[in-house]
Amino acid sequence: MGLRPGRNSLIYGWALFRRESMIVKDFLGCVGWTALVLLAAVTVPIAGPFISLLTPIPFLYYATKRGLYGGLTLAGATVLVISMAARFLGQPQLVLFVIEFSALGLALSEIFRRQYPLGFTLSIGTVCMLVMGFACLLFIGIARNMGPFEVVQAYLKSNLDGALHMYEQMGLEKEKALEIQTYGKAIIETISKIYPSLLVVGSVFVVWINVLLGQRLLRRAHLEYPVFDNADRWQAPEILVWGLIAAGFSLFFPLGSVKLIAINVLIVLMTVYLFQGVSILVFFLNKFHVPPWARGAIYLLLFFQQVFLLLVALGGVFDQWIDFRKIHKRLDS
């Protein structure tokens, strides 16, 4: 009986030690995981930018594992360490990147916890991504005394100048250099006009890939994850097709500002219907039990051949009337 208080103290001390060691382990895991993703993004050619899109995953994982408060603590400490390392290595632009993507990972963990449907999950995640992206552009613009879209134009122009300088060092003729510069300016002007829609589309893609991979990771780790029922039967709200039609007719307006808005709306809505087309494709792949290797080949074909992407998006549009999966027929019966 007299040894019980000491024994209880020993048990409490051991539990406290294990708790603290788990915190240290998770901190090192989050920092190491994030650093490896960023290192691969910088060093791996071609695939590097795509790897960088996975930066929210470690923050999503540890926020789900430790809860919102624990996730915030780990994210803050990780961002601090990565920021110091980025400044030391002469890569200060990584600081805002890590802040933005860590916030997305934390936001997705809370969205996952609420078990929203797939469409609502992607919508809220995209809104969060857009808000954080615009805030980063605004912060950079204030630091440089520029507007958000002026920052984008300056970034594109600096990349063009860097490419031209590299070509000149390789001995490119002046006439061809001027030709490339002319084409580059035209591309910059085009991107500047459709940048709002590109920002939305890019945000949707980033959120989608992190939702897809994050869900599978959490399931394998035996953590709480969202279950998206019948994702292969997802369809966009029917009212969106009227927005698509209105945007299409708006292209014939003589006003340039109206055309500009219509083009941006068309790009965003066609992306939505691309997701519906992919959902239709997955439905039939599941229906006919297509093996994984064949699915991978089909997805690669979609990725590298934009013509097939357009066909899939058009399939999503016409699904409003044709009902390829007979969803409305099932609901009516």
State whether 125 and 253 are in the same domain: no
Convert 136-146 to b/e letters by CB count within 10 Å (16 or more is b): bbeebbeeeee
State whether 145 and 282 are in the same domain: no
State whether 212 and 307 are in the same domain: no
Taking the C-alpha atoms of residue 54 and residue 206, their distance in angstroms, rounded to an integer, is 8
Burial class (CB within 10 angstroms; exposed 0-12, middle 13-18, buried 19+) of 109: buried
Taking the C-alpha atoms of residue 227 and residue 118, their distance in angstroms, rounded to an integer, is 9
| Phi–psi pair at 98, nearest 5 degrees | -65, -40
Structure-token pair, residue 117: 């449907």
pTM: 0.83
Contacts of 254 (CB under 8 A, 6+ apart): none
State whether 220 and 280 are in the same domain: no
Please check whether residue 176 lies inside any domain of the structure. no
Q: State the average pLDDT for the chain.
A: 83
Please check whether residue 162 lies inside any domain of the structure. no
Q: Among 229, 250, 274, identify where a domain stops.
A: 229
State whether 298 and 258 are in the same domain: yes
User: Angle at Cα 50 formed by Cα 306 and Cα 157, nearest 5°?
Assistant: 80
Taking the C-alpha atoms of residue 110 and residue 214, their distance in angstroms, rounded to an integer, is 13
Which residue, 141, 149, 56, 51, is CA-closest to 105?
A: 56
pLDDT in tens, 268-307: 999 999 999 999 999 999 989 889 899 889 988 887 888 8
CATH code, domain carrying 6: 1.10.1760
Could you write out the three-class secondary structure of 41-87? HHHCCCCHHHHHCCCHHHHHHHHHHHHHHHHHHHHHHHHHHHHHHHH
Do 154 and 146 form a contact (C-beta atoms < 8 A)?
yes
Please check whether residue 172 lies inside any domain of the structure. no
Please check whether residue 288 lies inside any domain of the structure. yes
State whether 110 and 215 are in the same domain: yes
| Phi–psi pair at 36, nearest 5 degrees | -65, -40
Taking the C-alpha atoms of residue 67 and residue 73, their distance in angstroms, rounded to an integer, is 10
Beta strands in the chain (DSSP E): none
Which residue, 262, 277, 287, is CA-closest to 313?
A: 277
State whether 203 and 241 are in the same domain: no
Q: Which domain holds residue 137?
A: 1-156+195-229
State whether 149 and 92 are in the same domain: yes
Instruction: Give how many domains the chain has, as a whole number.
Output: 2
Please check whether residue 190 lies inside any domain of the structure. no
Whether the per-residue pLDDT at 333 is higher than 60: the answer is no
Please check whether residue 171 lies inside any domain of the structure. no
Please check whether residue 26 lies inside any domain of the structure. yes
Please check whether residue 109 lies inside any domain of the structure. yes
Dmax (CA) for the chain in angstroms is: 94
Measure CA 163 to chain center: 27
State whether 58 and 201 are in the same domain: yes
pLDDT in tens, 111-165: 999 999 888 999 999 999 999 888 888 888 888 888 777 777 777 777 767 766 6
pLDDT in tens, 151-192: 777 777 777 677 666 766 776 677 776 777 787 778 878 888
State whether 215 and 87 are in the same domain: yes
Q: Among 209, 229, 249, identify where a domain stops.
A: 229
The amino acid that residue 26 corresponds to is D
Q: Among 203, 229, 255, identify where a domain stops.
A: 229
State whether 256 and 209 are in the same domain: no
pLDDT in tens, 90-111: 777 788 889 999 999 999 999 9
The amino acid that residue 136 corresponds to is C
Structure-token pair, residue 107: 């936001």
State whether 202 and 286 are in the same domain: no
